[in-house]
Amino acid sequence: MHEFQSDHQTVRLVTSAALRAAVAWSQRENRTEAWREVSRMTGVVMKVFGPADTSFTPAMLIEKLYQPLSALVGPSSPVSDVVLLDADGSLSDAAVDIACEYAEGLFPNSADPSQDWLPSWTWQQQEQVERAVYSGLIASADQRAYEATRRFLIEHPAGDGRKLIELRNKAGARSVAKYDPIGSERVWPGGGSGYWWPCPVCRWPMRVRPPMVSCDFRHHDARFRLADPTSPEGQPLLSSLTESHRSPDAIATDGSVCLELSVWRHITVPGISELALERDLQKIEDVQVGMWAGLDAIDLLVQVAGRKLEVDVKDQVDPFMIAAKPPTAAHVVVPDYRAAQLPVLRELLAEKKIWTSSQFVKHVRAQGGQQR
Ligand SMILES: [Zn+2]
């Protein structure tokens, strides 16, 4: 076990360093610091592989960022197939979709020279993002405000700035995370201030890379193509490339804001699976569901036929990372799109009951709940 853990730590360190180098490289034309960051990350990778690898150069690291990460982390990690840079040198979708879960602080003594310009999702872990967002709410021990606030960040990751404040007040949610103007990589630059599209699943602005418009989180399966011509009013139109979703309407960028990427990726995205499970369970008669009981001691408290089931929902790329910080609840649920994790999780968390979301809903129904 010990040997495995150190292996796993190696994957985290190397992926984290590679991700930072890739982000830096993709910004090298605007950021003089980028070059220094790439050599610093070359040093991190070299140190992980041991002093025997002194021949490793920044140029070699950059070359590897255009290839599957297996060249750096070996063949058996969920991150092995990830390529961080696309052929044109821009950051790949997989960088945000997968690699970002491996990010961690490489400089533990807050001596990170790049924190003032590298985006926080390249060096913050999920728990750090959660702590930054929720710690004040948890300290005030107000379960209702906590629940309302958490739900709000999941359901309203973007929108009209003024409307969002109205909605937030109405929901009894607190202002705990910043909303910023929508980044240029998520804007179609035409028709005045430009347009953006919310992902049909998470409602956060999709990435615009003409002619493609897509959500950075692959499991939302939101992929569209810019249609030609535009609408009679001059708004750009999308045509859907998947059967899952109809095309959303374009929204004018003026006045629109969104959560920063790390809050969306670490709070909104996993929250969608939690709320989807809540919704499915509430469709069963005689079932009560409490969300984030005890200020998130557990994700869902499900009451059915006089029994209480404690549930944690885990929507993470790497089952080993879930097992490294075992959930509190007796039942661990993964989204259906992570069904492949079940065998590994059952082995790693032998004392827990592991389910996909639909398996767990079926289980609760069998406990005595009736379909409403
Ligand atoms: Zn999405």
Going residue by residue through the chain, which has 372 residues, state the pLDDT in tens, using 9 for 90 and above. 333 345 888 899 999 999 999 999 999 999 999 999 999 999 999 888 876 667 789 999 999 999 999 999 989 888 999 999 999 999 998 998 888 899 887 876 567 888 888 888 888 888 888 888 988 888 888 999 999 999 999 999 999 999 999 999 999 999 999 999 999 999 998 777 899 999 999 999 999 998 999 999 999 999 999 987 777 777 889 999 998 899 999 999 999 999 999 999 999 999 999 999 999 999 999 999 999 988 888 999 999 989 999 999 999 999 998 998 899 999 999 999 999 999 999 999 999 999 999 999 999 999 875 555
260 alpha carbon – ligand 1 mean position (Å): 14
355 alpha carbon – ligand 1 mean position (Å): 23
111 alpha carbon – ligand 1 mean position (Å): 34
223 alpha carbon – ligand 1 mean position (Å): 10
Give the rounded distance of the alpha carbon of 253 from its chain centre.
23
What's residue 40's pLDDT?
Answer: 93
203 alpha carbon – ligand 1 mean position (Å): 6
216 alpha carbon – ligand 1 mean position (Å): 7
What's residue 369's pLDDT?
Answer: 53
Contacts of 30 by beta carbon, 8 Å cutoff, 6+ apart:
none
221 alpha carbon – ligand 1 mean position (Å): 8
Q: How far apart are CA 26 and CA 228, in angstroms?
A: 29
Domain ranges of the chain: 2-124, 128-262, 267-371
198 alpha carbon – ligand 1 mean position (Å): 8
- Cα angle at 81 between 79 and 84, to 5 degrees? 75
177 alpha carbon – ligand 1 mean position (Å): 19
DSSP character string of 210-225:
TTEEE-SSGGG--EEE
3 state SS of 132:
helix
206 alpha carbon – ligand 1 mean position (Å): 7
244 alpha carbon – ligand 1 mean position (Å): 12
User: Which amino acid is present at 59?
Assistant: A
271 alpha carbon – ligand 1 mean position (Å): 12
Q: How far apart are CA 37 and CA 349, in angstroms?
A: 38
275 alpha carbon – ligand 1 mean position (Å): 14
215 alpha carbon – ligand 1 mean position (Å): 5
Q: Which alpha helices (DSSP H) does 192-308 contain, by range?
A: 261-263, 269-282, 293-296
96 alpha carbon – ligand 1 mean position (Å): 12
**DSSP H or E run through 16:** helix 2-26
Which residue's entry shows tokens 């408290």? Answer: 301
116 alpha carbon – ligand 1 mean position (Å): 27
What's residue 76's pLDDT?
Answer: 87
Going by C-alpha positions, the residue among 286, 302, 293, 318 that lies closest to residue 353 is 302
- Strand pairing report for 223-227 and 237-240: antiparallel
Determine the topology of domain 267-371 in CATH. Answer: Trna Endonuclease; Chain: A, domain 1 (3.40.1350)
105 alpha carbon – ligand 1 mean position (Å): 26
167 alpha carbon – ligand 1 mean position (Å): 21
Q: How many CB atoms lie within 10 A of CB 291?
A: 19
108 alpha carbon – ligand 1 mean position (Å): 32
48 alpha carbon – ligand 1 mean position (Å): 34
196 alpha carbon – ligand 1 mean position (Å): 13
